[in-house]
Structure 1
Amino acid sequence: MEALLLSRWQFAITTIYHFLFVPLTLGLTIWVALLETCYVRTQRPHWKEPCRQLVRFFGTLFLINFSLGVVTGIVQEFHFGMNWSEYARFMGDIFGAPLALEALTAFFLESTFLGIWMFGWDKLSPKVHCLCAWLIAIGSNLSAFWILVANSFMQHPVGYVVNNGRAEMNDFLALVTNPYVIGEYSHALFSGIATTGILVLSVAAWKYLKDAASQEAFRHVLRAGAIYLAVGVMGVMGSGHMHTQYLATANPMKLASMEALWENADPAPFAVMAVIDQDNLKNSAEIKIPTLFSLMLYNKPSGEVKGINTINAEMVSKYGNGDYRPDVFGLFWSFRLMVACGGAMMFIAFAVAALTWSEKFAAYRWLLKFVPLSLPLPFLANTAGWFIAEGGRQPWIVVGLQKTADAVSPNLTSTEVWLTMTGFTLLYLILIVAALYTACRYIKKTSIPLEGRDA
């Protein structure tokens, strides 16, 4: 394989590993801060100490996840110099600014108060310690904001000029207020909440069934976790729909590829299923719902929606000869996988909420056995969403400015990429196994008793 393709595989593998932990970090920081707020404010004596133990319980799971996120994220920085030096040369003036701000404003805030939070349980007042938890949550989510500012420029460049073969920033405010950021950030934030909701429900269901001493405490956790999950999934759906509206203008090729809409349509149908052959459309089989895609794009309810072939022809006339279509098959099915996982998580949220509020909870506790099986759902959805975001802009690394083929390091060899990719992948595999073992062992051995159902 050539160095370009291997570099893309390496970046994809390391990014997927990293993105397993990022959404969970975003959601867990908020969850832990909310739990600690309950601990500080509650006036119920039976609940005070168990609530404190729950904060430390989920805080420990957060620390395990956070450590893996940091380790896997550091490698991402090195990729720009190792594999994508032409991208770094062309985009460094713009891409470097939000990355620097992420380190200076977000990561320092997050890591500093994380240390204070870890070692300050017996040294700080409960209110000050709770404030540290909220500062960690703010720092984590601010970090995601700056990263997505940089990524949004790659999807939809704004606030720049090209001088001497390099993109240079000429409007920082435009970079920060890029409309693309709103959709990406809100979607990532609520994805983190949904991911955490599933984790909380999975852990709480297992503890309720396997740890008799912790049953009452984790019944409360099940109820709160179901609400948290429902908020996350509804936020994901709302922000995703909002972002889809914007894609119709900002990146119509990505949107048309997600729906496998090859030709212009007025009104456009929604393809439920498709077997897509990009080179021979006669072999493509589809099941469509007429007009639904146009109704989803309510800003074009009766107007023509451009298809892939039309958009590709327009890009050829604007940027020169070439094939500007992304992986339509991958985008089409990734989108449907993401939506299916979201729908399943919403069902789980309402089912667990209804069960925990039911007076017949004990009779149907066997249903909780299926909740831990849902743990892979948000991670599948997050990975599919990442593929849609990054794969949907191909063949561009920065849409309209630089192609991925032009961004790879010129002196990079296939052997070098093979060696580093194999090393990173094996190391990450060892780390994730170690982290899962540590987390599972901690979950099993930790009990949180709560006396009385009125607590």
Structure 2
Amino acid sequence: MDALDVARWQFGVTTVYHFLFVPLTIGLSVLVAILQTMWHRTGNERYLKLTKFYGKLFLINFAMGVVTGIVQEFQFGMNWSDYSRFVGDIFGAPLAIEALVAFFLESTFIGLWIFGWDRLPKRLHLAAIWAAAIGTNLSAYFILAANSFMQNPVGFRINPDSGRAELTDFVAVLTNKVALVTFPHTLAGAFLVAGSLMVTVGLWHVMRNRDSADTGAYRFATKLGSWVVLISSALVILTGDIQGKIMTEVQPMKMAAAEGLYTTESPASFSVLTVGSLDGSRELFALKIPYLLSFLGTGDPNGTVQGINDLQAQYASQYGPGNYAPIIPVTYWSFRFMIGFGLAAAAIALLVLWSQRKGRTPTSKWLLRAGLVMPVLPLLANSFGWIFTEMGRQPWIVFGEMLTRDGVSRSVSLTEVLTSFTAFTLIYAVLAVVEFKLLVRYARAGVPDVTPQSDDDDTDDAERPLAFAY
């Protein structure tokens, strides 16, 4: 093991951990805004209670996401300085806009929303949560645009004197075909997570507090969350299909590795299960669905999909000697875990809806247990999706332009990377416990009392302390 290996592990661990909070923040921001809009339009107290209830869970998750996200950009300078030097002119532009515009919009209006209850006019307060939600989604787009450059470099040139990539077309970076399809795919995955959490919390209260005065609110939240999960699942599949075709075009090795396809096939079959040789060079056993991979990869049931061995020979001729295939088992199984966990969440959502048909109250303990694990499933699906995306690109850190081994900081020793890796992992483990306990504590507490304050309070509004209105 050397500094490169540990640096990769550190980036992987911190990135996956940070992304546990990102989809929930993206999805909940919009769902909370929708709930508040429903209250604003109808005046129904049920929607106000749900707005404040899920709003609190959103704020807890947002705060933790900010804390863990700060480390991400530090790592570019700490462990990946050669990469930062090579691609900084391009990578820095969308990240700077994300910080200066999207995150500023997001954080500013979240502050107004938190402290604006009963202080701001209702329409302005509603606009604040929508502005925060828009900022959250814009933030995601700029970050995905930066990542998409690593998958499909566009809008740049290599300076022959400095050896650095220089930005020539910022619009091309923002409209990268990979970014345009990855963004809706990521948003759909985010709503899958947020909807699952809404289902879990609502279902728990429906089944454990059946005689509560707020049961109607929880039933509504459970149904809304279930429909969000089902609709977002369909959108994940649709955008994933488009993404697969673009991936086959710009990163054919990733698609070949995802399917354990060693030789070029036309038509190509989708692998349900493939067992390869220990050296990862050939197929030993496979259970396949004919024509499906050709359709998924090219849109044509008889289309040609290139195999790992043929692409390896092509890249070795194009880029020089070396192994240009990713770790096949990781890529192959992460792709299937991504799909499997996502479909499992959708199946539970369908069962939850069925259990509440025609006003029924669910009673199955197995359904409650499935509901309690439901938010974990799309989180795992999202995590394995990103593992597949990043590991499938290897050995490139910028596809076709820079190898991962060439991007690591040369002056950072193995001991230094191990120290930071250990420290961040331990800190993140503590934060995980804190996050989980806070979410569980406030989720179990239930919706808040929204009874208006008495008009007999003579305290001057300007003298009241700022506080969370929950």
Q: TM-score range by the shorter chain?
A: over 0.9
Q: Which amino acid aligns with 1:14?
A: T
Q: Which amino acid aligns with 2:232?
A: G
1:53 to 43, 49, 55: 49
The equivalent of 2:152 in structure 1 is 156
The 5 Å alignment of 1:109-188 reads 109-163=105-159, 164-188=162-186
Q: Matched residues in 1 for 2:273 and 2:449: separation?
A: 49
Stretches of structure 1 lacking an aligned partner (at least 5 in a row) = 451-455
The equivalent of 2:426 in structure 1 is 426
Q: CA deviation at 1:295?
A: 2.6
The equivalent of 2:199 in structure 1 is 201
Q: Matched residues in 1 for 2:281 and 2:410: separation?
A: 36
Check the 8 A contact 1:24/1:192 in 2, yes or no.
yes
**Which whole-Å deviations, capped at 9, do the CAs of 1:33-89 have from their partners, x for residues lacking one?**
00101110115xxxx223212111111101110111111110011100000000011
Structure 1 pair 66–232 and aligned structure 2 pair: CA distance change class (3 A) = same
TM-score of the aligned structures, taking structure 1 as reference length: 0.95
Q: Matched residues in 2 for 1:283 and 1:314: separation?
A: 20
Q: Which stretch of the first structure deviates more once superposed, 337-346 or 240-249?
A: 337-346
SS in 1 for 2:103: helix
Identify the structure with the greater helix proportion: 1
Q: Matched residues in 1 for 2:363 and 2:109: separation?
A: 44
CA RMSD of aligned residues (A): 1.7
Q: Matched residues in 2 for 1:365 and 1:321: separation?
A: 58
Check the 8 A contact 1:217/1:448 in 2, yes or no.
no
TM-score of the aligned structures, taking structure 2 as reference length: 0.92
Q: Matched residues in 2 for 1:380 and 1:446: separation?
A: 26
Q: CA deviation at 1:210?
A: 2.2
Q: Matched residues in 2 for 1:125 and 1:283: separation?
A: 65
Stretches of structure 2 lacking an aligned partner (at least 5 in a row) = 451-470
Check the 8 A contact 1:257/1:328 in 2, yes or no.
yes
2:82 to 71, 86, 91: 86
Q: Identity across aligned pairs (percent)?
A: 44
The 5 Å alignment of 1:19-418 reads 19-43=19-43, 48-163=44-159, 164-211=162-209, 212-213=211-212, 214-277=214-277, 279=279, 281=281, 284-361=284-361, 367-418=367-418
The equivalent of 2:465 in structure 1 is none
Q: CA deviation at 1:363?
A: 5.8
Check the 8 A contact 1:50/1:449 in 2, yes or no.
no
Q: Matched residues in 2 for 1:267 and 1:81: separation?
A: 45
SS in 2 for 1:272: strand
Work out the number of aligned pairs and report it: 446
Check the 8 A contact 1:183/1:242 in 2, yes or no.
yes
Q: Which amino acid aligns with 1:378?
A: P
Q: Which stretch of the first structure deviates more once superposed, 404-413 or 440-449?
A: 440-449
Q: Which amino acid aligns with 1:373?
A: V
Q: CA deviation at 1:165?
A: 0.3
Query: Are residues 1:441 and 2:441 paired?
Result: yes
Q: Matched residues in 2 for 1:209 and 1:361: separation?
A: 7
Check the 8 A contact 1:101/1:146 in 2, yes or no.
yes
Q: Matched residues in 1 for 2:152 and 2:90: separation?
A: 13
Q: Matched residues in 2 for 1:386 and 1:68: separation?
A: 20
Q: Matched residues in 1 for 2:297 and 2:251: separation?
A: 14
Q: CA deviation at 1:124?
A: 1.0
Check the 8 A contact 2:281/2:309 in 1, yes or no.
no
Structure 1 pair 22–280 and aligned structure 2 pair: CA distance change class (3 A) = closer
Q: Which amino acid aligns with 2:57?
A: L
| Structure 1 stretches of 4+ moved >6 Å | none
